[in-house]
Amino acid sequence: MEKTKRVFALIVVGFLVCLSVSTLLIALFGGENSQDLLMIAVFSSVIIPVLLYGLSLAFRVSNRDKFAPPEENEDKE
């Protein structure tokens, strides 16, 4: 499971790096549709990470009992 998480994390990081590079390239090299493309790229650069964070947070909250570490004995003083 840990290896799978790392692979997905690397895929997401690669995707976000490509998105950031494309935003930079669109900003530097203009064309006839560059303003629309730049707005889409900037919007995606903000919204996609927020959605991914929200999904991971919802997954953690909904599966709290399944993945929670075992509780320690509360009788210890």
Residues 26, 41 contacting (CB under 8 angstroms): yes
Which pLDDT band holds residue 75 (cuts at 50, 70, 90)? low
| DSSP for residue 69 | P
Cα separation, 19 vs 44, whole angstroms:
8
Which pLDDT band holds residue 51 (cuts at 50, 70, 90)? very high
Nearest CA to 52 out of 18, 16, 3 is that of 16
What percentage of the chain exceeds 90 in pLDDT? 13
> What does the domain layout of the chain look like in residue ranges?
8-63
Which pLDDT band holds residue 5 (cuts at 50, 70, 90)? confident
pTM of the model: 0.62
